[in-house]
Chains A and B, each alone.
Chain A
Amino acid sequence: MSDNKDFNWRRNITRFIITLVLMIYTVITLFPMLWSIYSSVKSSNEILTSPWGLPNKLNFQNYINAFTKANMGDYFLNSIFITVLSLTLLLVLAIPTSYVLARFKFMFSKTLKNIFVAGLFIQVMIYLVPLFLLVNKVHLLNNRLVLCVIYAVTSLPFTIFLLISFMKSIPKDYEDAAMIDGCNYFGILVKIIVPMVKPAVVTVSIFSALGFWNEFPLAFTFISSSSKKTLSVGLANLMEIQRYATDWGALFAGLAIVMIPTLLFYVFTQKKLTEGVSIGGLKG
């Protein structure tokens, strides 16, 4: 009888400690962002004198400054434009290519597949400099469209790899039936294959879009005009400027302007994201 009591007591203490640890880490995870957001509505004075304190009253001057003096609006629009276009390009290129490599046998098909997959092991930073020199030579620097193409192409290996493995599992019967019905190859691709791989396309799109939105090294290297910069680069710029000034208000506001939409995006796609990561782990 007393054995049971001991056991229960020990188990409860363990549960309590575990819950405490989890709560502490929750705070460590969430508090930095919360701090940044509530600091963004503080006045410069408050930021300087009381880092922890809550704002006395809501002060939106920082946000006004972020948009008017620091160009956040431009950065935002650029990021949206670039993310959407890059994603579109990526899908337009990757889906047909994956389909052909997955379902057709022809000369070099295996080699091509291996070349694309090998791209998974080559990180962008390794060839960034020659790429820059190439784009410079053809005078296409500081061009957002070019950046979109680069974004799309550098995401091809992962996307093609994933799509091929999905497409391989579609039974041939669908294509045969469609052909008998007189559908041409493009029709089969668009009307039958694409709907069937929609889950994979959605997952890939979410991950890729997130990657494009957050990307820094390429955007930083290839875009120089302030009006064309993306959010990541604009924010880094802002921080450089603020490093020596002590007015952090606009910087906090800038961070909040980026974090809040990200949070919303996360709330809507969270399930898909963690699923995608989990599958990666299971395939392990």
Chain B
Amino acid sequence: MRSRKKNIFIATCIIPTFTLFALIVIYPTIKTFSMSFYQWSGISQNAVFIGFKNYADLFKDRTLIIAFKNTIFLILTVPIITMVLSLFFAAILTQFKLKGKNFYRTVFFFPNVLALVVISILWSQIYHPTMGILNSFLDSIGLEGLKQVWLGDEQVVMWAIVMTMVWQAVGYYMVMYIAGIDGIPKALYEAATVDGASGIRKFFSITIPMLWEVIRTTIIFMISSTLNMSFIFCRVMTAGGPNKSSEVLLTYMYNQAFQNANFGYAMAIAVVIFIFTVCLALVSNRLTERRD
């Protein structure tokens, strides 16, 4: 009797959840892979099996190559700049016993709470060539030469997006690093001070090694979330423009599906993105492994 009641309980708890999960996550994921081998324009009966042709076409697709390059650019620059800044601020706030530690932590974390759409729109306005404050600011301090059409110039646009993404992310990782650093025994630092080590020396010889596991995890977080967020930032701020120069893999995939109704092709792009993400995670895991 008890066992039967127990089984009913277990089933009631699990079956609804798993059913929905299978329907909404598992099934579509499988379809992503299977659909990539077809050519389909969305009208039911017309799915044509074409094997790896979608994938072969990817190599010849000039826009895809741009999107791929831009995605890699983001995945490299955003995490690096974010990490440098957030480690820097975390180190400062923990080493110098400033009275503002909690204040700065609260303030710097705030951008992370805002919706990505809000941040995209906000920075689109800041970057506006005439109505935005960035160019006006450069004017007012005499640096008119540095003015750009931030989101309208093919050479500059990706960097502008990078800066916005960094602005969004620094606070989040800074908080993580502060927590990590707070967990490092003070005795280590004291011993180093007695030995005459400078602040910078202490940072590289104590803080970084002790924080290494946390840093490893955040690298993967950063890469994955940069990739994920690229859709929103590039879509809202520039819609991939000017002239596809800020197109990224996710926006391209989305447009192929919903603008061009090229569903099979879009799914091939999705599979590529997925494989790319997995490889990145494996590689960065390997590269940051410590051999001790």
Residues of A within 8 A of B (CB): 15, 18-19, 21-22, 25-26, 28-30, 32-33, 35-36, 47-48, 51-52, 93-94, 96-97, 99-101, 104, 106, 112, 115-116, 119, 121-123, 125-134, 149-150, 153-154, 156, 184-186, 210, 213-214, 216-217, 221, 231-233, 235-236, 239, 246, 248, 251-252, 255, 258-259, 262-263, 265-266, 270, 273-274, 277-282, 284
One digit per residue, 1 when the CB lies within 8 angstroms of any chain A CB and 0 when it does not, for chain B 10-35 equals 10111011101101111111011001
Residue B140 CB within 8 A of the other chain: yes
Cβ contacts under 8 Å, A125 to chain B:
228, 231, 250, 253-254, 270, 273
Distance, CA A270 to CA B110, complexed state (A): 9
Q: How large is the interface on B (under 10, 10 to 19, 20 to 34, 35 or more residues)?
A: 35 or more
Residue B194 CB within 8 A of the other chain: no
Residue B266 CB within 8 A of the other chain: yes
From B17, B32, B98, give the contact of A126 (CB < 8 A): B32
Residue B50 CB within 8 A of the other chain: no
Are B17 and A94 in contact, CB atoms less than 8 angstroms apart? yes
Residue B145 CB within 8 A of the other chain: no
Are A29 and B110 in contact, CB atoms less than 8 angstroms apart? yes
Are A126 and B9 in contact, CB atoms less than 8 angstroms apart? no
Are A127 and B29 in contact, CB atoms less than 8 angstroms apart? yes
Are A22 and B31 in contact, CB atoms less than 8 angstroms apart? no
Q: 20 extra interchain contacts, Cβ-Cβ under 8 A, other than A127-B25, A130-B267, A274-B105?
A: A22-B98, A25-B89, A29-B171, A32-B123, A33-B122, A52-B137, A96-B13, A119-B21, A122-B25, A126-B29, A126-B270, A127-B29, A129-B32, A149-B20, A185-B6, A214-B116, A265-B113, A270-B109, A281-B176, A284-B176
Majority DSSP secondary structure for residues of B touching A: helix
Distance, CA A128 to CA B267, complexed state (A): 10
Q: Which of B90-137 contact A (CB under 8 A)?
A: 92-93, 96, 98, 100, 104-111, 113-118, 120-126, 130-133, 136-137
Distance, CA A239 to CA B117, complexed state (A): 10
- Pairs A–B under 8 Å by Cβ, sample size 20: A35-B133, A52-B137, A96-B13, A100-B14, A106-B7, A128-B28, A129-B28, A130-B31, A185-B5, A185-B6, A210-B113, A216-B117, A236-B235, A239-B124, A273-B109, A274-B105, A277-B176, A279-B179, A282-B183, A284-B214
Residues of B within 8 A of A (CB): 5-7, 9-10, 12-14, 16-18, 20-21, 23-29, 31-32, 35, 42, 89, 92-93, 96, 98, 100, 104-111, 113-118, 120-126, 130-133, 136-137, 140, 167, 171-172, 175-180, 183, 213-214, 216-218, 224, 227-228, 231-232, 235-236, 250, 253-254, 257-258, 263, 266-267, 270, 273-274, 277-278
From A131, A282, A284, give the contact of B28 (CB < 8 A): A131
Distance, CA A149 to CA B14, complexed state (A): 16
From B118, B175, B270, give the contact of A278 (CB < 8 A): B175
How far in angstroms is the closest Cβ of chain A from B135?
8
From A115, A129, A255, give the contact of B257 (CB < 8 A): A129
Are B236 and A239 in contact, CB atoms less than 8 angstroms apart? yes
Cβ contacts under 8 Å, A266 to chain B:
110, 113
Contacts known (A47-B131, A51-B132, A232-B115); A26 close to B104, Cβ less than 8 A? yes
Distance, CA A60 to CA B20, complexed state (A): 46
Are A123 and B228 in contact, CB atoms less than 8 angstroms apart? yes
Contacts known (A93-B20, A236-B236, A270-B106); A32 close to B122, Cβ less than 8 A? yes
Distance, CA A87 to CA B63, complexed state (A): 39
Are B27 and A217 in contact, CB atoms less than 8 angstroms apart? no
Are B136 and A51 in contact, CB atoms less than 8 angstroms apart? yes
